[in-house]
Amino acid sequence: MSSAIRQYLVITGNYWAFTLTDGALRMLVVLHFHQLGYAPLEIALLFVFYEFFGVVTNLVGGYLGARLGLNRTMNLGLFLQIVALAMLAAPAAALTVPWVMAAQALSGIAKDLNKMSAKSGIKLLVPDTEQGKLYKWVAVLTGSKNTLKGVGFFLGGVLLMTAGFKGAVVAMAIALGLIWLASLFLLKRELGKSKAKPKFTDLLSKSRPINMLSAARLFLFGARDVWFVVALPVYLHVAFGWDFWQVGGFMACWGIGYGVIQTQAPRITGDLTGRTSAILWASVLAVVPAGIALGLTTSIPPQQTVVGGLLLFGVLFAINSSLHSYLIVSYARSDGVSLDVGFYYMSNAAGRLLGTLLSGWVYQSYGLAACLWVSSAMVALAAVFTAGLPERRPVSA
């Protein structure tokens, strides 16, 4: 087994372990605090620091990755997630809104340090001449991560019912601690360290393709989270009367299927991986939320409309996400790759922050259909910014 393959497996395993706890923690927080009587907007506010510090982390984290090495930023991300889980294991009386928001802030920093490090690391393990292999490796990393995040949703629902909130976070902290210790010894020390010491002014991208792709990513992920983060789990519980394990299980199945589709994106898109393909897939995706919103006004049972529409949305969103994840790694420079990838995922985090806030506010004020119309508009904006990309030559996938 080559050194590159071994490092790819370490990075992927590290990313998998983190993602499992991240998905479980998100479901735990949404369902636990809904159970305590928090309104949808209040639940959304619990995630504000998670998303806000994700924006900051991706920007600064790319700089740190180039200066210190991706092994250090990845292991730091794991450690901070352990601290965040330990904070949430505090007695129930201590779980005030500011305390939970602080723990979520640490978790947001941890998640984006880990993701930025993993995505940047892949760029360094594949030669620039092998774009087809790069697309496949990024698709597998991204898709498997989201599959495990789906498993994490289910795990969070089950743990809440069986072990309670405190027992769940303690168990996850212990498991992640063991992964962190292994990662300290297995990751190469100089992975991703830039040969030329980057300046702090290099944090902001000066590349038009990176900027256009980052803007498209912001609206793409805002379009998902505007109805997926808070509105959908609460709607499934309130409107359909689903138990927590049913909500967690359904979200898990969606996440698993979403991840599987992502790993197959290179087969679906084929050699069409440039601007035209990205615009096409975004345009098709924009129709789906609008269709679900219209379906809720007809005589079709809402359960069929929402569940069926969500499955179709998941397939199309997975293709869009995987294609975008490949494009940013492909466009990024080789020396100091974490700077470009960090800037891009800063926009990703900003989109999640915007979507999370809108998810709580729009759902509480106007309902699920309004969230879906906002989602459709945001995907359309993502397609508009994608049109600003240069057309790339097709690659062999």
Q: Assign 348 a pLDDT band (cuts: 50, 70, 90).
A: confident
CA atoms within 13 A on the CB side of 89: 15
Choice between 220 and 327, residue whose per-residue pLDDT is larger = 220
Q: Shortest CA distance to 356 belongs to which of 16, 53, 58, 102?
A: 53
Q: Shortest CA distance to 359 belongs to which of 44, 42, 22, 97?
A: 44
Task: Indicate whether 325 pLDDT > 60.
Answer: yes
pLDDT average, residue stretch 34-51? 75
Beta carbons within 8 Å of 375's beta carbon, 6+ residues apart: 223, 224, 226, 227, 289
Choice between 336 and 107, residue whose per-residue pLDDT is larger = 107
- Most confident residue range from 65-69, 134-138, 148-152: 148-152
Structure tokens at 372: 């879906």
Task: Indicate whether 395 pLDDT > 50.
Answer: no
Can you give the pLDDT at residue 98? 83
Measured CA to CA, the distance from residue 248 to residue 131 in angstroms comes to 37
**Where is average pLDDT lowest: 130-134, 174-178, 368-372, 376-380?**
130-134
Can you give the pLDDT at residue 291? 93
Task: Indicate whether 119 pLDDT > 70.
Answer: no
Task: Indicate whether 252 pLDDT > 80.
Answer: no
204 in helix, strand or coil?
Answer: coil
Q: How many CB atoms lie within 10 A of CB 204?
A: 12
**Where is average pLDDT lowest: 10-24, 229-243, 382-396?**
382-396
Q: Assign 254 a pLDDT band (cuts: 50, 70, 90).
A: confident
- Most confident residue range from 40-49, 84-93, 242-251, 262-271: 84-93
Can you give the pLDDT at residue 394? 39
The position carrying tokens 């590349």 is 207
Q: How many CB atoms lie within 10 A of CB 366?
A: 12
The beta-carbon contacts of 121-126 under 8 Å, at least 24 apart in sequence, are 121/7, 121/8, 121/11, 121/70, 121/74, 121/191, 121/192, 122/8, 122/11, 122/329, 123/329, 123/332, 123/334, 123/337, 123/341, 124/70, 124/191, 124/192, 124/334, 124/337, 125/4, 125/7, 125/8, 126/4
Beta carbons within 8 Å of 252's beta carbon, 6+ residues apart: 150, 151, 152, 153, 154, 155, 157
Separation in Å, CA 298 to CA 81, 90, 235, 274: 44, 47, 18, 38
Choice between 97 and 285, residue whose per-residue pLDDT is larger = 285
Measured CA to CA, the distance from residue 73 to residue 388 in angstroms comes to 32
**pLDDT tens for each residue of 179-204:** 888 878 776 655 555 555 555 455 55
**pLDDT tens for each residue of 53-108:** 777 777 776 667 666 667 777 788 888 889 988 888 888 777 777 888 888 888 88
Q: Assign 378 a pLDDT band (cuts: 50, 70, 90).
A: very high
Beta carbons within 8 Å of 71's beta carbon, 6+ residues apart: 117, 187, 188, 189, 190, 191, 192
Separation in Å, CA 97 to CA 48, 102, 104: 11, 9, 10
**Run of H or E including 99:** helix 97-125
The position carrying tokens 């928001």 is 101
Q: Shortest CA distance to 34 belongs to which of 149, 156, 147?
A: 156
Read off φ and ψ for residue 312, nearest 5 degrees.
-65, -40
Can you give the pLDDT at residue 300? 85
Averaged pLDDT of the chain: 78
**Where is average pLDDT lowest: 70-74, 120-124, 214-218?**
120-124
The structural domains of the chain, ordered by start, are 3-187+203-386 (1.20.1250.20)
pLDDT average, residue stretch 231-238? 84
- Cα distance between the two ends of the chain: 23
pLDDT average, residue stretch 118-123? 66
Task: Indicate whether 260 pLDDT > 60.
Answer: yes
Q: Assign 363 a pLDDT band (cuts: 50, 70, 90).
A: confident
Dihedral in degrees, nearest 10, Cα atoms 99, 102, 107, 112: 170
Measured CA to CA, the distance from residue 180 to residue 84 in angstroms comes to 14
Choice between 389 and 379, residue whose per-residue pLDDT is larger = 379
| 177, amino acid identity | G
Can you give the pLDDT at residue 381? 94
Can you give the pLDDT at residue 380? 94
